[in-house]
Amino acid sequence: EIAKAVIRLLYAYRLTGVLTITTDNGSEFSAHQEITKGLKGVVVYFADSYCSWQKGLVEYTNKLIRQYIPKGTDFDTVTPRFVKKIQTKLNRRPREKLNFSTPTAEFFKHFR
């Protein structure tokens, strides 16, 4: 299911914006070859185990998500609508690392 969602969300950007995906070694990306095939050559890289510094953005984003969904939350109680709300908030949140621009603004700068 994760592979299908990644392909659906990133397909339009596969040739010009998304060239690689870096993730941790979680089982949710076990279908990484399906993502590479579905996105026509986008390569999926995996960080080394116990090397959180190799995926700093993932760790930082997880920290931000935990503000809305605390560790130990039963995900059966989390609605897709709530997840979308979190996604929108985080993508519109200015980041110091982006000179106080937002992830959304920075992403779409590549498609003007």
Domain boundaries, the chain: 1-46, 52-112
Report the C-alpha gap between 61 and 26 in whole angstroms. 16
* Reported pTM: 0.71
* pLDDT for 51: 83
Q: What is the pLDDT of residues 24-74, one digit of tens each?
A: 888 888 889 999 999 988 888 888 888 878 888 888 888 999 999 999 999
The sign one gets for the Cα dihedral 62, 63, 64, 65 is positive
Say if residues 21 and 45 touch (Cβ distance below 8 Å). Answer: yes
* Greatest alpha-carbon span in the chain: 41
Q: What's the CA gap between 40 and 64, in Å, rounded?
A: 31
Compute the distance between CA of residue 92 and CA of residue 100 in angstroms, rounded to an integer: 11
Q: Is 82 left (phi over 0), alpha (psi -120 to 50) or beta?
A: alpha
